[in-house]
Structure 1
Amino acid sequence: MELHVVIEGDKDLAGQLYRQLKEAIRSGRLAAGEKLPPSRLFAQQLGLSRKTVSEAYARLSFEKLLTGRVGSGTFVAEDAARKPGAAATRALAGGAMVEHWRGMSTPLRHPAPAGSARYEYIGGAPARDLFPHADWRRCMLHALRQGARSRGLYGEAEGLPELRDAIARHASFSRGVRCVAADILVTNGAQQALDLVARVLVEPGSTVAMEEPGYPPARLLLAGQGAKVVGIPVDGEGLVVERIPDGTRLIYVTPAHQFPLGMPMSEARRKALLKRADELGAIVIEDDYDSEFRYEGRPADSLHGMDANGRVVFVGTFSKTLAPDLRLGYLLAPPDVLEAAATAKYLSDCHTATPAQSALAKFIADGDLNRHIRRCHAAYAPRRERIVRRFAEDLSPWFELVPISAGIHMAALCRPEKGDRIDMDQLVRLARRVDVGLYPLAPFFHFSPPRAGLMLGFGAIGEADIDPSLDRVRDVLLQME
């Protein structure tokens, strides 16, 4: 690969080369430690004499921008690059919008310490040690062989036909949705599915209703599209439907496992929500992010399975069943919404990476996904039971758990008599000092005063680590009394 340098005319050749190399180093285009071409080779590439190149190198070395290593060559000096700092800014016609996005709070955009404690209760993280590496590797090799025989063209925005068919079969079997392959759009995780629905349904000023507390990235995404987002309170049965205002165009809910509190939406409330959506002509986004893991009670019908009027967009993801970094999700939507979302996806990123789609299609078709879900369920169930037991025993003076029947996290609410006396920020800070990662509920409240409590993810923590870590949490709480 040639270093990009442009030499014009036949005057001050060494000076031209010197100035361009200096600018490249100062701007960071040539990084510290980067090796420059040997003078003889560089001279041939530029059509210059070796003496000219050597002279430019010598001047840069004198200024300590380059350094020579005997037997190795010429390199950019370690401290030569411009130190990062605030770049001079010019007035931008779209500056207000840039600042709007720059200043947007993203509470679930994991900060550096997140996920780094020895004992981690971070939400939304599946067990990494349970990932089926051998099965996934076999499916990826199959995908690469398939790719080698393809014409190497762009794929369909909706997704590979074989994956759409596999997802339709899986979702119909496991979640009771009514769909075929033509109803599926493959996305880069659930977040892109939400983005596509928002793009095609939300206009500036549109009223959108969502749960309070709720999922911050969904709220921020909808607000970013210009929606007027209204928080609707939840109770023990889920979203309080009668609080949805007139004129609402879109309703976002997590009925199988309310995020972040965890309770399922009752059947009566589901029916009421579908009736209200039909009255409003609104679309309901059913975010079904981790309902594959069910621990008690009979499975409830999905909203999509109960919907007789084409009001529900069902959003699913493989981030919780497999791994978040695979970025694989999907949406099911009424035909007109699906067609619009497919156009939006095509204009956004054309299509989701084909090898990953092909691998997932085989992974599902071969039964690997269902086997993996069963293995994870067998690991998660005792973790949940152990946490429930501890919060019913020695942690009960401070917290009470919100009952859950599915998912890989639960919420612990401070008891009313303790809520004003427990400093949650201090608890999180002191727990991290003893290597326990705790996460407060406060960031999930936006429209109402936050409830004091914790989100307890049990996907990333081993069963054997739960008692030792909660012993430390108990000891911290005793010290805070």
Structure 2
Amino acid sequence: MEPVLSVPLTLPAGAGRSRHLHRQLRAAILDGRLATGTPLPSTRALAADLGVARNTVATAYDLLVAEGYVLPRRRARPVVATLPARHGPTPPPAGGEHRLAPFWRTPFHAAGALPPAARPDFRLGVPDHRHFPHALWRRLTARALRQLARQPFAYPPSEGLPELRAAIAGHVAFARAVACDADAVVVTSGAQQAFDLLARLLVTPGTTRVAVEEPGYPPLRAAFAAAGARLVPVPVDGEGLVVARLPDDVRVVSVTPSHQSPTGTVLSQRRRMALLAFARERNAVVIEDDYDGEFRFGGRPLDALQTLDREGRVFYVGTFSKSLFPALRKGFVVAPAWARAPLAAAKHCADAHSDAPTQAVLAAFIRDGHLARHVRRMQALYAARRAALLEGLAALSPWLLPIPSEAGLHLAAQLRDPAQEAALLGLLREHAPGAQSCAEYALAPLPRPAVVFGYGAIEVDAIRAGLTALAAALRARLPPR
């Protein structure tokens, strides 16, 4: 037999059936499955269909009538009442939705996932997934899950699993000569959570002035702006952050010394020493963002600021998004001794703990030497792509001047003629998709426009083809003078 009502209804055994029936019918009316004017079955018919007493259905109907969801009719079946019109989301009023805190009415940095590329392109911040040891990662994951299954369920430490913190301490000591032990490491959900936690820890809203590179990494600026910091953009040049331009009242300085984001320049040794002297004399702290420092293509890298720091003024932030893969969502902070307990407390407030299984897998991946081998293998691949990109930029020398860089997964180039910026960017979108203008990383117009090319997710042949097409288009559209 066909059901007497198109909406599926399920009633449990025992008492309370009228209440369950009432809730299911009300939900069907509210979400539109029972439209306005729809006649309900008679109490006798629905009771027979559900196998319950007629009084069970009558009680549910009486509740719906009392609440205004159903209209009774004499000598006829009740019908679904007309409810107030349901409107879609209304646009926020001018000046933003006032139920939100002022900062979030017009977010500093809009959220959004990076869509997968339709074809290989020059986008930034994306490593190559095709050469990752997926089978090895699966085996390590299975092993970690087996080990966790033998342990009682418990919340892991807020600052991270001890074995992962120890593995990270050993990794940064080997790769970047960062001197620390496991106690100094706090594991985070990517570098972005590290920035958010440091902003919570170091910023007094409306008071603390935070120096940021200009151009610089927008998500970091967003985290500090959301915490109420007063941002102070400081220019960068061929030696990195211009330390001499730091105002005296700055109390936090954020810097990407090994590979400036996005220009790629290296903070010179004299500027590193000057920055540490500034922090000492003004009682300031430095946030060292070493986001893709593992991949180096020049000589011996300069010492990290954390290595040079003797007074506990540097927070060293790292991530595995570039060396492994972004979806891993694992970063870390190497914190000075005085800030470790407060940083762990801030992590506990924001996110009681990172997931234990992935932490265990990553710890084994680092401890067993797989990370070091993977970085060496990928460095050889990225070196070939970097060489192809430099070769292509050399052919574009009438229009672009490469900015020297010895690390990372992207290269930047300045425009020789700023007046050509709009036309060049249009051709860039067509022939080198994914490449960006450095203006997207700046708070104000830049005196020297520049563009930046990523080579993490694009093969050598595609790099050459894209830049060859770009050169041909530039010769036709903007002939060299």
Would you say same fold, with TM above 0.5? yes
Tell me: CA distance 1:434–1:304, structure 2 relative to 1, closer, same or farther (3 Å). closer
Check the 8 A contact 2:124/2:435 in 1, yes or no.
no
**Partner in structure 2 of residue 254 of structure 1:** 256
Check the 8 A contact 2:317/2:334 in 1, yes or no.
yes
Check the 8 A contact 2:122/2:457 in 1, yes or no.
yes
1:314-349 superposed Cα distances (whole Å, 9 cap, x missing partner): 000000000011100100011221211110111111
Distance in 2, Cα, partners of 1:134 & 1:160: 24
Distance in 2, Cα, partners of 1:366 & 1:43: 62
| Residue 104 in structure 1 maps to residue 94 in structure 2 | no
| Residue 243 in structure 1 maps to residue 250 in structure 2 | no
| Residue 474 in structure 1 maps to residue 471 in structure 2 | yes
Distance in 2, Cα, partners of 1:275 & 1:42: 83
- What is the Cα deviation at residue 4 of structure 1? 9.6
Among 439, 443, 449, which residue is 1:442 paired with?
439
Check the 8 A contact 2:9/2:21 in 1, yes or no.
no
1:61-83 superposed Cα distances (whole Å, 9 cap, x missing partner): xxxxxxxxxxxxxxxxxxxxx99
TM-score (norm 1): 0.82
Matches within 5 A, 1:142-161: 142-161=143-162
Tell me: CA distance 1:241–1:3, structure 2 relative to 1, closer, same or farther (3 Å). farther
Among 31, 54, 62, which residue is 1:24 paired with?
31
Tell me: CA distance 1:342–1:397, structure 2 relative to 1, closer, same or farther (3 Å). same
Tell me: CA distance 1:243–1:135, structure 2 relative to 1, closer, same or farther (3 Å). same
Alignment-mate amino acid for residue 101 of structure 1: W
**Partner in structure 1 of residue 390 of structure 2:** 388
**Partner in structure 1 of residue 315 of structure 2:** 313
Check the 8 A contact 2:108/2:225 in 1, yes or no.
no
In structure 1, list runs of 5 or more residues that go unmatched.
Answer: 28-38, 57-81
SS in structure 1 at match of 2:251: strand
Distance in 1, Cα, partners of 2:385 & 2:243: 33
TM-score (norm 2): 0.82
**Partner in structure 2 of residue 414 of structure 1:** 415
Distance in 1, Cα, partners of 2:314 & 2:18: 69
- What is the Cα deviation at residue 477 of structure 1? 2.3
**Partner in structure 2 of residue 34 of structure 1:** none
**Greater Rg, structure 1 or structure 2?**
2
Task: Provide the identity percentage.
Answer: 41
Alignment-mate amino acid for residue 180 of structure 2: C
SS in structure 2 at match of 1:246: coil
Tell me: CA distance 1:405–1:42, structure 2 relative to 1, closer, same or farther (3 Å). farther
**Partner in structure 2 of residue 85 of structure 1:** 88
Among 335, 357, 360, which residue is 1:358 paired with?
360
**Partner in structure 2 of residue 119 of structure 1:** 120
Indicate the larger mover: 436-445 or 382-391. Answer: 436-445
Distance in 1, Cα, partners of 2:303 & 2:131: 28
1:398-425 superposed Cα distances (whole Å, 9 cap, x missing partner): 101101011001111111xx221231xx
Distance in 2, Cα, partners of 1:154 & 1:97: 32
**Partner in structure 1 of residue 209 of structure 2:** 207
**Partner in structure 2 of residue 74 of structure 1:** none
Matched length: 433
Distance in 1, Cα, partners of 2:470 & 2:54: 71
Distance in 2, Cα, partners of 1:133 & 1:338: 34
1:180-223 superposed Cα distances (whole Å, 9 cap, x missing partner): 01110000001111111110110112111111111111111111
Check the 8 A contact 1:108/1:217 in 2, yes or no.
no
Distance in 2, Cα, partners of 1:41 & 1:347: 54
In structure 2, list runs of 5 or more residues that go unmatched.
Answer: 1-7, 35-45, 62-84
Backbone CA RMSD of aligned residues: 3.4
Distance in 2, Cα, partners of 1:142 & 1:363: 12
Distance in 2, Cα, partners of 1:201 & 1:94: 28
Check the 8 A contact 1:107/1:443 in 2, yes or no.
no
Among 450, 453, 456, which residue is 2:453 paired with?
456
Check the 8 A contact 1:168/1:179 in 2, yes or no.
yes
Check the 8 A contact 1:5/1:20 in 2, yes or no.
no
Distance in 2, Cα, partners of 1:356 & 1:298: 32
Among 339, 342, 357, which residue is 2:341 paired with?
339
Distance in 2, Cα, partners of 1:476 & 1:110: 31
**Partner in structure 2 of residue 232 of structure 1:** 234
- What is the Cα deviation at residue 3 of structure 1? 8.0
Check the 8 A contact 1:122/1:458 in 2, yes or no.
yes
Check the 8 A contact 1:189/1:329 in 2, yes or no.
yes
Tell me: CA distance 1:9–1:319, structure 2 relative to 1, closer, same or farther (3 Å). closer
